Structure 1
Amino acid sequence: MLLRLPISMAEAQECLAEAAVPIGGATLVWAVWQRDGFPELAMSLRDLPDANVIGRETLGAAVVLNRIDDRVPDVLRLAAATVGTGAVRRTATVGGNLVGSTLRCLLPAALVLDARAMVLESDGVHETDLAEMMAKRPLLVGLRWRDPIASAYRKLPAEAGGPPPLVVASALHVDDGAGIRLRVAVRDGYDVVSGDTACGTDTEQALHALHTTALGDLSGEAWDVVRRQVTGLLDDRGSA
């Protein structure tokens, strides 16, 4: 297998044209390749500057999870810190987790940030929403979002080898109309659902509005976690 390491978007585009297979951190594909055979040509974005940025409103797809710190919002930092073991986090990348993983541990955090995906295709770099990215699974270069007012994240404990643990993420944003918008996303099993609502100071009113979204179909246990997290987030904002 020949591994290409592009250092520019133009070189990465050439790799795509040559049908190079994205390798990410190789934590997910290596075992599959050992079983099914290695591709002739692979590519890694680890040397591509655009894919290695870390900031308050941006994160590159080649960033390994243990590099994600308080430069990004809490919800994304906490999500990255709970993925796998320390050894996994030292090699697994943002792009591999979002595009290559069935667990998609970072997806709830990205959804509540209302993140946009920067993807590289044969005709150049494009911005798209997360739903299209998950459906088409293009080559992810990075994420962009607007810095939230506050955010929260919780992953419940789970037994090894059992169902994926419940994940709840939430964030408060300044709305376009200068109000406040609450976004919540939940991974329940392998499914990720989300909802959002304008909110003021009434927590029960915000929760009632969220219950009319896709979040209303959550199990009682999952909804209890949502309730506690939203209540804490809004209470903290009220006391700030």
Structure 2
Amino acid sequence: MLLCLPTSVTEAQECLAEGAVPIGGATLVWATWQRDGFPGLAMSLREVPEANVMGRESVGGAVVLHRIDAQQPDVLRLAAATIGTGAVRRTATVGGNLVGSALRCLLPAALVLDTRATVLETDGVREADLTEVVAERPVLLSLRWRAPIASAYRKLTGQAGGPPPLVVASALHAGDGGGRCLRVAVRDGYDVLSGDTAGDTGAEDALDALRGTALGELPAVAWDVIRPQVTGLLHGDGANGEGLSAPDR
């Protein structure tokens, strides 16, 4: 297998045109390749500047998970910190997790940040929403969002050999025309559901409104986590650090 290491978007496009397979951090594909055979040409974006951005409102697709720190919103930082082991987080990338993983541990956090993606294709780069990223699995260059007022994250402890542990992410945003918007996303098994409502009401009104969204289908155990997160964000009493629990195995 030949590994293509482009240093620009143009070179990355050329690698794609030649049939290179994107590998992210290779934590998810290596075992499959050992079993089924390696591709003739693979590509890593680790030398492409646009895929390595790090800031308060952006992160590159080639950024490894352990680099996500206090620059980024709490919900994204806490989500990254619970993925795999320390060794995995030093290798796995943002793009690999969102595009290459069935678990998509970062997806609830990205959804509540109202994230937009920049993706790479053979004929250029373009913007895409997360629904398209999950469905079509393009090459992810970067993510960007508008920094929230506050955010929160919790992952429950999963059982070995069982379904993925429940994840609840939430964020409170300033609205464009004034007011505030509350966004909540939940991973229940392999499904990710989300909903939003006004963030200027009391917690009970906000929870009632969220039950009228897709989140209303969730089991009681999910609402046992959603309720204190929503209450903490709307009352400003710091739900951000709650529930940093056992990582996925």
Q: CA deviation at 1:177?
A: 1.9
Q: How does 1:23-172 map to 2 (within 5 A)?
A: 23-172=23-172
What's the secondary structure of 1:110's corresponding residue? Answer: helix
- Cα deviation, 1:45-85, whole Å, max 9, x if unaligned, reads 01111111110000000000001100100000000000011
Mapped partners of 1:83, 1:97: distance in 2: 9
SS at match of 2:152: strand
State the shift of 1:237 in Å.
6.2
Q: Distance in 2 between matches of 1:169 and 1:191?
A: 14
Give 4+ residue runs of structure 1 displaced > 6 Å after superposition: none
- Find the residue that maps to 1:33 and give its secondary structure: helix
Structure 2: which amino acid aligns with 1:2?
L
Structure 1 portions without partners, runs of 5+: none
The secondary structure found in structure 1 opposite 2:157 is: coil
Identity of aligned residues (%): 75
Write the distance in 2 (CA, Å) between the matches of 1:161 and 1:63.
Answer: 29
Following the alignment from structure 1 to structure 2, what is the Cα–Cα distance between the partners of residues 197 and 55?
27
**Deviation larger for 143-152 or 201-210:** 201-210
- Contact 2:73–2:147, Cα closer than 8 Å, also in 1: yes
Cα distance in 1 for partners of 2:59, 2:138 equals 17
Distance in 1, Cα, partners of 2:237 & 2:49: 36
TM-score by length of 1: 0.97
Once the two structures are superposed, what CA deviation does each residue of 1:7-60 show, in whole Å capped at 9, x if it has no partner? Answer: 000000001111100010000000000000000000000111111111000000
| Count of matched residue pairs | 238
Q: Matched residues in 1 for 2:161 and 2:94: separation? A: 23
Distance 1:204 1:154 in 2: 20
Shift of 1:212: 0.3
Would the aligned equivalents of 2:172 and 2:199 in 1 still touch at CA under 8 Å? no
Helix, strand or coil at the partner of 1:187? strand
Name the TM-score, length of structure 2 as normaliser. Answer: 0.94
Alignment root-mean-square deviation, CA: 1.0
Q: Quick check: 227-236 or 209-218, which moved more?
A: 227-236
User: Cα deviation per residue 1:127-150 (whole Å; 9 max; x = unaligned)?
Assistant: 110001111111000100001000
